[in-house]
Amino acid sequence: MRSIKQPGAPVTERIQWVEARGRAFAFTLQAGLPLLEAARRGFAAEGFAGGVLNFGHGALGSFGYVMPALSKTGANAAFYSDTYRPAGVTRTRLGSMTLGMRDGAPFFHCHGLWTEADGKASGGHMLPDETVVAEPFEVQAFGIDGAMFTAEPDPETNFQLFGPVAAASTGARTASRSFALRLRPNQDFAGCLEAFCKAHGIARAKIHGGVGSTIGARFTHGGVTDPFATELAITAGTIAPATSGVPEAALDVALIDYTGGIAEGRLVRGDNPVLMTMELVLEVLE
C-alpha cells in the first residue's frame, strides 16, 4: 500500500476515538456572518458545542482558502499553498466541516469544492477567519455530546490537528450512540473503519462529516488521482455487513489535489491510505 514518510514517529494507537452521544439535524447558515460563527450558532441552538456537518450548494463572500501543496521546507510531508481570495460570490458544490475548539475558542476544519465568480472550478481548505456566508443556505449537521474535536500539536505530522477528546456533557438532546474518530496516517481508510467497527461490535453505521486527506486516490469507477497530496471531503459514507457478515465501508468522496485536479467517486477498499488525518463521526445504527 502507498505510504508517505512523516517527519515524526508514528504513535502506537492509530485511531484516536471517543464514544459519545449524538443527533442529526439541519439548520440554515445566516448571511452576513463569518462561516465559523454561523456554524457555531447553528450547533448552539440545538444545545451542542461542536460536531460535524455536510453541505451542498451555498454562497460565500468574502472567502479565503488554501489548496494542498508540496512542502517548501521539508518540515511536513506536504503543506498548504498561498492563500487565495477570489472576488465576488463563490458558489459551493459540496463540502464537509468539523466544528471544534482551538486555543480555547471555536474553530473549524472544512474542505469542499466550489465555483468562483469568474467560473473557475476549484476546491480546498476554507479559512475560518476569512470566510463569510454571502446568502443563507442549509446544512446537514450532527452534534456530539460527550466529545469535542480539539486542535492539538501532532508530533507525527508536525501540524496542529483536530482530534476527539472527552468533554463534559452539555445536556443536549441526543438520539444515538456515536464515535468521534481521527484516523492517523498511512493506513487504509476503509480498512481502518472496518476494523474499528468489528472491534467495537458495530454492524451498521452512518458517517457524518468527514474531513481529511488521502495519498492520492483510487476510485471504483476506475479513476485515479496520482498526486499524493489531497484535500478531501466525504460526501456519503456507510458501514454495513457484507455477504460474509463482516463490516464493509462504502466511502463516497470529493477531493482536489495539489495540481488542482478535482475527482469524485467511491473509494476502492484497501487502496486509499490516509495522508495526514481523517476526522469523522460514526453514528451507530444498530
Q: Domain check: are 219 and 272 in the same one? A: yes
∠ CA 4-157-80, rounded to 5° = 85
204, part of any domain: yes
Q: Domain check: are 219 and 114 in the same one? A: no
Q: Domain check: are 133 and 186 in the same one? A: no
Q: Domain check: are 191 and 94 in the same one? A: no
Q: How many CB atoms lie within 10 A of CB 132?
A: 18
266, part of any domain: yes
Half-sphere exposure for 206 (CA within 13 Å, toward CB): 14
What is the average pLDDT across 228-237?
A: 98
pLDDT of 268 higher than 90: yes
* pLDDT given at position 284: 98
Q: Domain check: are 137 and 211 in the same one? A: no
Q: How many CB atoms lie within 10 A of CB 244?
A: 7
Binned at pLDDT 50, 70 and 90, residue 273 comes out as: very high
Q: Give CA 38 to chain center in angstroms.
A: 18
Name the DSSP class of 269.
T
Alpha-carbon distance 69 to 102, whole Å? Answer: 23
Range of the structural domain that residue 33 is part of = 21-143
Last residue of a domain, one of 101, 127, 143: 143
Of 132, 130, 102, 100, residue with least CA distance to 279: 100
What digits encode the pLDDT tens for the residues 43-88? 999 999 999 999 999 999 999 999 999 999 999 999 999 999 999 9
Binned at pLDDT 50, 70 and 90, residue 158 comes out as: very high
Last residue of a domain, one of 119, 143, 167: 143
Alpha-carbon distance 89 to 60, whole Å? Answer: 6
Q: Domain check: are 221 and 266 in the same one? A: yes
What is the average pLDDT across 133-139?
A: 98
Binned at pLDDT 50, 70 and 90, residue 264 comes out as: very high
Q: Domain check: are 31 and 108 in the same one? A: yes
Q: Domain check: are 135 and 191 in the same one? A: no
Alpha-carbon distance 129 to 121, whole Å? Answer: 22
* pLDDT given at position 44: 98
* pLDDT given at position 111: 98
152, part of any domain: no
38, part of any domain: yes
Last residue of a domain, one of 143, 165, 200: 143
102, part of any domain: yes
* Cβ(42)–Cβ(27) below 8 Å: yes
Q: Domain check: are 205 and 129 in the same one? A: no
The model's pTM is 0.97
12, part of any domain: no
61, part of any domain: yes
Q: Domain check: are 134 and 239 in the same one? A: no
* Cβ(94)–Cβ(77) below 8 Å: no
What digits encode the pLDDT tens for the residues 16-29? 999 999 999 999 99
What digits encode the pLDDT tens for the residues 172-189? 999 999 999 999 999 999
Indicate the average pLDDT of the chain: 97
Alpha-carbon distance 197 to 189, whole Å? Answer: 13
268, part of any domain: yes
Give Dmax over CA atoms of the chain in angstroms.
Answer: 52
Q: Domain check: are 117 and 187 in the same one? A: no
Strands (E), the chain: 15-29, 51-55, 58-60, 65-66, 68-69, 79-80, 90-102, 105-115, 121-126, 133-135, 137-145, 147-154, 159-166, 176-183, 205-218, 224-241, 247-257, 262-266, 274-284
Name the DSSP class of 173.
-
* pLDDT given at position 174: 97
Q: Domain check: are 85 and 197 in the same one? A: no
Give 49's strand partners: none
Binned at pLDDT 50, 70 and 90, residue 286 comes out as: confident
What is the average pLDDT across 151-169?
A: 98
Instruction: Indicate which CATH number applies to the domain containing 202.
Output: 3.30.1330.80
Query: Which helix (H) or strand (E) covers residue 41, if one does?
Result: helix 35-44
The number of distinct structural domains making up the chain is 2
**pLDDT over 70, % of the chain:** 100
* pLDDT given at position 79: 97
**pLDDT over 90, % of the chain:** 98
Amino acid in position 17? W
Interacting residues of 51 by C-beta distance below 8 A, sequence separation 6+: 22, 43, 99, 141, 142, 143, 144, 208, 209, 281
